[in-house]
Each structure stands twice: as structure tokens, then as C-alpha cells.
Structure 1
Amino acid sequence: MVEIGYKLASEEHGPRDLVCAARQAEDAGFPFAMISDHYHPWIDREGQSPFVWAAIGGISQVTADLKLATGVTCPTMRIHPAIIAQAAATAAAMMPGRFMLGLGTGENLNEHILGERWPPAPVRTEMLEEAVDIIRTLWQGGMKTYYGYFYTVENAQVYTLPEELPPICIAAEGPISASAAGRIGDGFINAGTEAEKSLIAFRKTGGEGKPAYLEISVCWGETEETARRTAYEQWPIAANTGEMNRILPTPAHYEQIARMATEEDVAAHVPCGPDPEPVIKKIADGIGKGFDHICIHQIGPQQQEFLAFAQEKILPHFT
């Protein structure tokens, strides 16, 4: 059974709006949501970036059935994996059976802020594997000490543990990190880059039978023209390719890159406007690649309008 979810984009919305949108998504019939974990927005115009763990606490109190995943948290540089272990355990205790920890190797945009050098991709993958090992070790309960290559944990115990530990899903956008996801993850997340190739690598290295999440971006608007403009102004990173979205350090750099893209470049990746058919096709394409969970990111401020649109014209198509 394919599930269609809703993206809570922390880069575009403040914490109160994220909490409200999560409740509205549940009311609209979405079974799950994913919430981004950023320190900075991609560009200044997006204008937000609240601390995700505080927002999750609020969401836990206004929803009853909505499943929620971090999409995704980087547990390697900005926040030590031992702290992520505690934060995720608390979130799972507040949302019994409804929380999933999504982890990835992160972006320089968010992770460089403490002055550490941004490592190359293979090193970031090794750091993530060790971080996941620490998190799972601490979730065993009891006092733990861990001496790894990248991290040290001494005499640490996570006292507040949920009755049911949350699954850990690993984000990957290439075969190397996807293979690691197959080995260490309970599921797979892809934000749209090399999706099919990465999913195949995940399945071949231990991911067979595990859930696979694909994020897609759309922009509902009253007209295609206004939606295309909104997508270009709010989410120009949709036009970026390769490692670009992993290596630039500040929103100003992404704004400089955005000047090289056109509205047409962004619209080529983002279904825009009031017609449900391009959105349905985008979802169907993801399902055809083998993904069983599709998370829709509505770009821009018109979240309520999109939720009504999805409830009436998108979700019924996949039930």
C-alpha cells in the first residue's frame, strides 16, 4: 500500500505555522508528514528555520494519528549523535508508535556553523554510520561508553526511552550512501536526486522489504503562471544539480546560484498550478520507481489551499 505524506518545510514556515499545518494535514487525510531539520533556510527569502525538536513537541500535542519523521536530521557535526539519541527518544515517547528518525549526511549550509571543516562525501557517510551505531547503542538503555573514530561518549544513559523504539531511516542521493542506508537503516529516504539508482543500491545491500520514502516538490496556485513564479522565488534550489546543495555554506551563496537559473528551469522539476494531473503523474512516477511512500512538499505560503486541493483531488486517486 502506497502512502502519500506532507512535507513540513522548516525553511519556509515558523514553528506555530508548522504545528498548525501538521494538524491540518492530519485532518485532510495525510497519514504521515516529514519535517526538515535546518539551521539556515536555503535562501533569505524563505525566512525561517526553527529548532525542529521544539516544533515536534508541539506537533505531538495537536495530532493523534499523524506519523512524523525528521526529513532529515544530520547527527554528525552541528549536534552530537548522543544528543540526537536523547531528542529522538523523547519525541518517540511523546508520539508512541508515530515517530521516525530520518538521518542523513547533511549540508554544509547547516553543519559548518561551529567552524568544523566540511568533509568529503565518503567521510560524511562514515561519520553517519558511526553516529547511527551510537544512537542504537544508547537506545539499549543503561550506562554506555563508546570510543569511536569520530566520536566519544562517556558514561551516558538515555533515561527516557519509549516503549517502542522509532525506526531509523537513512537519506541518500547516490549509490555509495544508499548502500550504507541498506546496511544500517530501517528504511530509505530520497529527496529526488538519483532516486531510482539509489533505491536499487539500497535494496541490494539489505534494504529489501524496508519502506522507501521519496520527496517531491509541487507548487499549487490559482494559475500556472503565479505558481511558477512562487516556485522560482521560494525554491530555486529545485534547479540545482549534482553536489551543489551539499557544499555551499550560506543562503547568500544559494541566492547567487539562483540568479543563474530561470523560472523555466525550476518549473521543469516542479509541477505548478491548479491542475492535479501533473502532481498525480509525479507521484505515479515515484511509485513506478519502487517507492512506497511519497512526501509532497508544497512550495510557498498557500499551505491551506494546497491541503484542500490535495484532500479533494490528489489523495482520493491513491486510496
Structure 2
Amino acid sequence: MQFGYTLMTEQSGPKALVDYAVRAERVGFDFEVASDHYFPWLDTQGHASYAWSMLGAVAHATEWVGLMTYVTCPTVRYHPAVVAQKAATLGLLSDGRFTLGLGAGENLNEHVVGERWPATRERHAMLYEAVEIITELFSGELVDYDGQHFQVDSARVWDLPSDPVEIGVAVSGSKSIEQFAPVADHLISTEPKSEIIERWNGARSGTPLPDSRKIGQIPISWDTDRDAAIERAHEQFRWFGLGWPVNANLPTTQAFESASAFVTPDDVAASIPCGPDLDAVVEAVSAYWEAGFTDVALVQIGDEKQEEFLHSAAGELLDKLRAAAPS
């Protein structure tokens, strides 16, 4: 079981995120994931720097910790050929520590380029073509691609790591699992459901594909003051419980404000571990390893508590998690 730290571009500026990345490596997190957003979820979060520039700096500033996008959408805001080039460069800068996490995206971040927001089935079809293109470009060969959604004309990625960057894909329902399990290296999901893992393994059984990581993510709001932790989580993370069908389609922070207006602090406290109780965090994270996940990244809510969390709580929390998790 590996435990990660989330570099959340929506709640911290890029220089702060690089600093947190170094501190998280020193504390002993196994890997670090970065959100790739053009907007924060809510105005109260207040940030949305360019994840790829920040990750390049993190790759240079850290030594051994794994790095990952969680996740990048390679379909509307970015063309997949450009994502392949970015990922390969980051693979080189990190000396092979980078994993490319991909997903079908959210309207919140993709609408900014002025394109329409496709329906779910079309988004998944676009993502599938993107995975095919990126995988081909990771070969180092000249690539032409004529798909329903994307075209590539004589493209080649010239600077590649010795081993191709591995690809994780965010999935949830049975259709997306069946579609992406045979073509991705790793599974990504924020839902600790055993049926997701079982379907993924079933879709890969009987193939020459190697074992894959199953990578989850969970928000926490650590604070020595539980009431302050709940207030901060409600102020910045109450959108989390709206569910992915809603979160993927709302176009603006104002829409998220309206959609989450009736979410109470008690609602947030019931779904996110809040306060100083590290055992409560362990209990919440245990749902992931019980479901069959191999990796879980923690999101510490609130920029103002990152330094204190990393200095005062993260080391002990990692010890507790590793003691409780299956080996």
C-alpha cells in the first residue's frame, strides 16, 4: 500500500506547492499527485496555476517521490499529441518518476477554450482516442492518426524517457472500466468500491497486461481545532459531495456555489474526516484498501494548514496508515 500527498492547484499558489512537495517527500509520502485545473471549484479556494509548469519545478526540487497528474483531460483544452509531449518531458525531468493520470474532464476547466461540452459517451470516446494517440507517440515513432474526434499529422515526440511513461485512467461505471482497462496501465477512482476493482481485474484477465495500480484519493481536514477544521472543509470543499455527474458538468465557480448552497457543515463533517483525530483518518482511508486499492492520495484541505499538517501530523499519520494497511 502506498500513500500519497495531493498538490492541489485550486487551493495553493505554484511556489507554495513546490515547497509542499519537497516537505511531503521529506516526511515520507510515497507519491504526489497534482490536480490540473483552469478554475478552482469555489472562489474561496482562490487558485488555479498551470499544473505542468509546477510539476516541472517539483521534478527538479524532489529526488525520489513518485509524481502524477490526478488528472489531466487530453481532449478539449489540450490536444492529446501535446499531452504526450508534456508527459514525456516530465518523465525525463523526473528520471522516470512520473505517471500520466488521464480523465474525461470537467466542464469547469474545459469550457474556457470556447468549445462545446460533449455528453458523457462522446467524452469517453474522445478519451479513448487520446489514449491511443498518446500511447503511439510514446513509442518514438512518426504517428499519423485519423480518428472520429482527433487527427494527428506526422507527429513525433523526440525527447522520451528510456521507459515509456505509464498511463492511469479515471473510471467509475462498468462501461468506462470495460473500455479503458485493456488500454491503460493503472486505474484511478475516487470511489472506494470493490466492484470497481473487480470489474477492472476481470476486464484485464486473460490478457498479457501486467498487474496495475489502483489509485484513489480522499480529502481530509486536519486541524488541532475540530470546529475550525469543519468550517474550513465546508468553506472550500462542500462541492465534493455533489457527485461526479454534477461536478463534471457545472461550468463555473458560481454554479458550484449555487449547487452546494444547501450543503451544511454537518453534511461535510459526516463525509470528510475533520479535526485532530488521526485514527478517524485511518478508518476513512481503510475503505480503499478493503476495496482493493493499492494507492491512496490524501488531500489536506486548506492552504493555510499545509505547513502545520506536514510538520506536525503527516509523519505520525503515515506511521498509523502503514501499520494498519495490509502489506
TM-score normalized with structure 2 length: 0.94
- Counterpart amino acid of residue 313 in structure 2: F
Aligned-partner Cα distance in 2 for 1:107–1:195: 22
Given that 2:3 and 2:318 are in contact with CA atoms closer than 8 Å, whether structure 1 keeps it comes out as: no
Aligned residue type for 2:170: A
Aligned partners of 1:204 and 1:252: how far apart in 2? 41
Superposed, which structure 2 residues align to 1:82-161 within 5 Å?
A: 82-161=81-160
Match of 2:234 among 210, 232, 235: 232
Structure 2 equivalent of residue 34 of structure 1: 33
| Distance verdict in 2 for CA 1:277–1:113, change over 3 Å | same
Please name the residue that 2:315 is paired with. Answer: 311
Partner SS state of residue 271, structure 2: coil
Q: What one-letter code is carried by the residue in structure 1 that aligns with 2:62?
A: T
C-alpha contact (below 8 Å) 2:139/2:164 kept by paired residues: no
The equivalent residue for 2:274 is 272
Spell out, residue by residue over 1:22-49, the C-alpha distance to the aligned partner (whole angstroms, 9 max, x if none). Answer: 1000000001011000111101111111
Aligned length in residues: 317
Contact 1:173 1:195 (C-alpha < 8 Å) held by counterparts: no
- For the 8 Å contact 2:187–2:215, the answer to whether it is kept is yes
1:205 aligns to what?
203
How far the C-alpha of 1:165 sits from its partner, in A, is: 1.2
Tell me which residue corresponds to 1:246.
Answer: 248
User: What is the rounded CA distance, in whole Å, between the counterparts of 2:180 and 2:270 in structure 1?
Assistant: 29
Q: How does 1:278-297 map to 2 (within 5 A)?
A: 278-297=280-299
- Residue 316 of structure 1 deviates from its aligned partner by 4.3
Q: Identify which range, 83-92 or 216-225, moves more after superposition.
A: 216-225
CA distance in 1, matches of 2:97, 2:151: 30
Matched residue, 1:9:
8
Q: 1:77 to 1:242 in 2, by over 3 A?
A: closer
Q: Give the deviation of 1:242 after TM superposition.
A: 4.8
Structure 2 residue runs without a partner (length 5+): none
Residue 77 (structure 1) aligned with residue 76 (structure 2): yes
CA contact under 8 A between 2:91 and 2:98: conserved in structure 1? yes
What do residues 51-75 of structure 1 show as CA deviations (whole Å, max 9, x unaligned)? 1110011001110001000000000
Query: How far 1:166 moved relative to its partner?
Result: 1.3
After superposition, residues 177-192 of structure 1 pair within 5 angstroms as: 177-192=176-191
**Residues 138 and 165, structure 2, Cα contact 8 Å, conserved in 1:** no
For residues 90 and 38 of structure 2, the distance between their equivalents in structure 1, rounded to whole angstroms, comes to 19
Q: Mind listing any 5+ residue stretches in structure 1 that lack a counterpart?
A: none
Q: Aligned-residue CA RMSD in angstroms?
A: 1.4
Cα pair 2:101 2:169 within 8 Å, conserved: yes
For residue 89 of structure 1, report the CA deviation from its aligned partner: 0.3
Normalised to the residue count of structure 1, the TM-score between the two structures is 0.96
Is residue 5–residue 30 contact of structure 1 (8 Å, CA) maintained in 2?
yes
Q: 1:202 to 1:272 in 2, by over 3 A?
A: same
Hey, what's the Cα distance between the residues in 1 that align with 2:270 and 2:45? 21
Give the stretch that moved more between structures: 238-247 or 221-230. 238-247
Do the aligned residues in 1 keep the contact of 2:282 with 2:320 (CA within 8 Å)? no
Partner Cα separation in structure 1 for residue 135 and residue 211 of structure 2: 21
- Name the CA distance, whole Å, in 1 between partners of 2:62 and 2:320: 22
Q: Are the equivalent residues in 2 in contact too, given 1:92–1:98 (CA < 8 A)?
A: yes
Deviations 1:243-293 (A, max 9, x none): 110000011100111212111111121000001111010111110010010
Which 10-residue stretch deviates more, 90-99 or 301-310?
301-310
Q: Given residue 243 of structure 1, which amino acid in structure 2 is its aligned partner?
A: P
More displaced stretch, 145-154 vs 304-313: 304-313
Q: Is the CA contact (8 Å cut-off) linking 1:216 and 1:295 kept in structure 2?
A: yes
Indicate how the Cα distance of structure 1 residues 35 and 242 shifts in structure 2: closer, same or farther if over 3 A, else same: closer
User: 1:152-190: CA deviations, max 9, x gaps?
Assistant: 111211111111111100011222222223121100111
